[in-house]
Structure 1
């Protein structure tokens, strides 16, 4: 857990340092060179409450410029940590904002244009947990019945992390070795009847279908941006890069069970491989502390308002609407507080789609409603090969006509190749006054 201190003005300060000098024992007796944030590999868990003002001091000790993006956090564009907020080697960036969103599992990772895949692959990623006072009563004792599971795939050459495929191939690197929380072949002893797992797919491209080897059912309680309308009971969930799911699993004393990922029964050509992997082995103690049943009423899904604006985005191999990312171009202008329908039309192989700042609900995939476990608030969605996905998107109220947010494919090879666009949020009624080019000399840091 990341330590923090309260500054004289009441803001809670977190100190984060991006490092390239990590040495991690991923395999017994062997040392692997890794990158990390504060630690040798991955990063600490940042935890804050709704209503708190947070101040993040991010120092770059890498040999190259980078950023730190708060994926899933709703905050002003100049604090977002996208490719416009670059941090030079040796420099410190200090964004601050007030947490003003429901409880959720978010995360942070670098977002330098053209280099994101390599920086995340080397180990720069961490969780950002938002608590909401007065929210649903759920398992919440961190490390006991509230556990993070950061799932990533890697390729190793001996003990060294091989990065040759990160910037090549249709999807980029698809590893044959799985790390969970930076650990190879992890195991955990369960001490409570129910455990809440916060799943994050922090892989560059691989998609997982997570469940258990014995086929047991479990409850999905939250998506990327917070609680579902009600728990969804399933035996397997599909999760693509950047997505998060919170699940509650029940155990019985003395049992051992493996959480795994299972490939789709019917694979399609030119789609992301979904191989079979073991993720974590759980062993339950001889006696388990009792847990209450999960029951809550989450936020309603809601319907599109009459006359909601529709924006259409066509995904090709590495372009959106036929264009590569251009740092100085504003692609879309959105009025603050808008509720819109975004139609994502994928004309080629699998992608996914992430929108910074917003919360959205999946209206339908190829005209059909999403499975119940994807009915909650999200910010990242898997877009299957040749599929059309419609999203009901709710935008925030942080107006800034010259500092953009991003929307992009979160398969990091695609993002780096230019599969990304930019939008600004402006005061309602000023949309036509905003230049579509970022002013020369505008400072983004």
Structure 2
């Protein structure tokens, strides 16, 4: 039997937990940078406060959360526009990106107050190519501070858009960088200290496509909006006036809603031809996990992870993405039985996410090549010693990394530019089991070496910038930064990030 936790119960649980925990002490900050010498066992001995999280009767594991409403499929999926390059120079791209307020007709006949980039809600797709020099003019037209973070881009720290790069209302800035990484699907969103969750929830998010010579030669579906489809999955709660009342919906352990929007579309449906269709999946939610699956049980091919193509396609029947993770999959609709209703569902709760309307018309003769990339994990990388131990612990407003909350004046880790290190992540459970923390490192694409000492699954053997960290799980990753600067390391449950589950890495 499926258990549904109502929004009212979530609010009551939150209030009880906050009251019970008001007397707990926050760990004392430490001004020294962690070089990895302290083991997880040392952290256990040195951590202040109770690991049992006494009084946390409202612990939200997110194993049983409010279910999503099924999409009725009555609205054709909106496809984000592609931002126009303002510069005619062949290898120099110029964009202007504005964070702005607006109103959006999500529900028929009603205007919902929203935030967006270059529009009222969400943002356009930025198209980049490897080798491009990119200049982006940033303008804050909001009534509050914001930043522009390029999630997954390997850029210098001063262009990354973390909390140090805050723009006040009316301010402008220019960032410039060179695209040095391979073809991938990335995204951008705000990252102001303490208010990232609300700004993303209200609509600030957009996609970045990077292309390279390899991606153009593979013959994959690449007709934007036709057989190459961007999909931004987000869950929301609307009040009785159809507004996004974040203060009312907010949960300290991650805000989860019952209403699904894909690309900002309520009750979406996607019309496709009988051809191979490439879906670029982004879990853009504040906290909800999605396990994507076809309702028929048919398989699909995953071709890419967060940061690039897999070496070869991986056949799957489902794929789980935690917040901020991306994956590219291909569904061959020419080989599916289209007499019955077809839909993408969320196997976490069985909800219908995206019904498909399959026409009898044939489409483009695209390809899924057997070889797509030359991603490798070297023997040298596998034999490197662990140089950084990173422990995620807690829930609600008691979340920490290595026993500390975020302090923008404190550097927690240091690393040398261009040097590969192995970092070991551990999700320390509390007495109630703990919860999944999606881990994100700014400014780099890394390699997952192992999960609990075992080789990662086939579809994680590619470039990543985010990964799920289960309770009591240990994950080793090989990390290298191409650029210098200060970067964030944090949980991508956005409320956890805002509550201080974030550290700083200085690359010199």
Whether these two folds match at TM > 0.5 is yes
Match of 1:42, SS state, is coil
Residues 282-321 of structure 1 aligned to structure 2 (within 5 Å): 282-295=356-369, 296-303=371-378, 304=381, 306-317=383-394, 318-321=399-402
Q: Does the alignment pair 1:139 with 2:221?
A: yes
2:494 aligned partner: 412
1:18 aligned partner: 99
Q: How many residues align?
A: 409
Q: Gaps spanning 5+ residues in structure 1: where?
A: 264-274, 427-445
1:436 aligned partner: none
Q: Gaps spanning 5+ residues in structure 2: where?
A: 1-81
Q: What is the deviation of 1:164?
A: 2.8
Q: What is the deviation of 1:363?
A: 1.7
Q: Does the alignment pair 1:176 with 2:258?
A: yes
Distance 1:10 1:262, change over 3 A: closer
2:346 aligned partner: 261
Residues 192-341 of structure 1 aligned to structure 2 (within 5 Å): 192-252=274-334, 255=339, 256-263=341-348, 275-295=349-369, 296-303=371-378, 304=381, 306-317=383-394, 318-341=399-422
Runs of 4 or more, structure 1, over 6 Å off, are: none
Q: Determine which structure has greater relative contact order: mean sequence separation of CA pairs < 8 Å that are 6+ residues apart, divided by chain length.
A: 2
Q: Does the alignment pair 1:38 with 2:134?
A: no
1:68 aligned partner: 148
Query: Does the CA-based 8 Å contact 1:406-1:421 persist in structure 2?
Result: yes
Q: What is the deviation of 1:394?
A: 2.5
Which deviates more from structure 2 when the two are superposed, residues 347-356 or residues 254-263?
A: 254-263
Q: What is the deviation of 1:309?
A: 4.6
Distance 1:35 1:285, change over 3 A: same
2:472 aligned partner: 386
Match of 1:284, SS state, is strand
Residue by residue over 1:322-352, the C-alpha shift from the partner in whole angstroms, topping out at 9 and shown as x without a partner, is 0011101111111111111111110132211
The match for 2:424 among 343, 346, 349 is 343
User: Higher Cα Rg: structure 1 or 2?
Assistant: 2
Q: TM-score, normalised by structure 1?
A: 0.89
Q: What is the deviation of 1:292?
A: 3.6
Distance 1:165 1:406 in 2: 28
Which deviates more from structure 2 when the two are superposed, residues 307-316 or residues 372-381?
A: 307-316
Query: Does the CA-based 8 Å contact 2:296-2:342 persist in structure 1?
Result: yes
Match of 1:27, SS state, is coil
Q: What is the deviation of 1:166?
A: 5.6
Q: Does the alignment pair 1:164 with 2:238?
A: no
1:103 aligned partner: 183
Would you tell me which structure has more helix in proportion to its own residues? Answer: 2
Q: TM-score, normalised by structure 2?
A: 0.78
Distance 2:263 2:366 in 1: 27
